[in-house]
Amino acid sequence: LDRERGEAVVSIIDYCHDYFWPTQRPTSVAASEVVDHFITVDGSAGRLADLAQTEGWLIFVCHWQSLYSDGTREGLAALDEVAARLARVYGTRLNWLTLGEIARYRAASEGCEIAARPTDGGFEIELDAAVDCPDFTIAVDAPAPTRDVGVLLESPEVTSRVLRRDGGAAGLLAIGSWRETSAGMAFCFPLRRGKQVLKVR
């Protein structure tokens, strides 16, 4: 990470084998024979289900030839079913990202210095970021907020932004919103390189 230049090198490691590979000749197994290795119909087993239970990144690798499957496209059919099962099991908790988006988010997370401090009637979170991130999300342990709590994001040379309350208990936070959690509060907002302050009153 080069904080001065706002640059970083991020290595993305896959955590899941290319189970589509056997759909090629000479074995040529069917799509239905490989999908359970990723995630079972009920989401109780499979490598991606294991990763999801630990709230890890669900990163898997495949090769074009293992999707094209010598013209049968069995690998593509299997990938389609894997995606459908993930959507059924995890629904709005799932966020599909490109490798570039994953790299940017990881660099932003690693390159952001965060300091929290109490204020009269609330608290502030100061962020000093090395990299921009349009949907940066953080959670903090904090007392349960009252109904009239307000959250303001202040950035130098940028108009202050009020974050709206998200009353949902599940799913991804929308950009520019916050919600109560079992331990405190979570926020999602555009992180800008440099200093920003979240003010909770």
pLDDT in tens, 142-187: 875 666 789 999 998 788 999 999 987 778 999 999 998 888 899 9
pLDDT tens digits for the chain (201 residues)?
999 999 999 999 888 999 999 999 887 899 999 999 999 999 999 999 999 998 788 998 899 999 999 999 999 999 999 999 999 999 988 899 999 999 999 999 999 999 999 988 889 999 999 999 999 999 999 875 666 789 999 998 788 999 999 987 778 999 999 998 888 899 999 999 999 999 998
Two tokens, residue 4: 């001065």
Report DSSP letters for 54-98, one per residue.
Answer: TT--------HHHHHGGGT-HHHHHHHHHHHHHHHHHGGG-----
Distance CA 145, CA 151 (A): 11
Tell me what pLDDT residue 178 has.
95
Adjacency order of strands within the sheet including 177-180: 112-119, 122-129, 194-200, 151-155, 158-165, 177-180, 184-191, 133-141
Flag whether the pTM goes above 0.95: no
**In the chain, which ranges are E strands?**
112-119, 122-129, 133-141, 151-155, 158-165, 177-180, 184-191, 194-200
Q: How far, in Å, CA of 122 to CA of 150, rounded?
A: 10
Measured in whole angstroms, the distance separating CA 34 from the mean position of its chain's CA atoms is: 26
What is residue 159's predicted lDDT score, i.e. its pLDDT?
Answer: 84
In this prediction, residue 140 carries a pLDDT of 92
Contact 137, 112 (CB under 8 A): no
Residue located via tokens 């009239």: 148
Q: What pLDDT, on a 0 to 100 scale, did the predictor assign at position 171? A: 84
Q: What is the pLDDT of residue 2?
A: 94
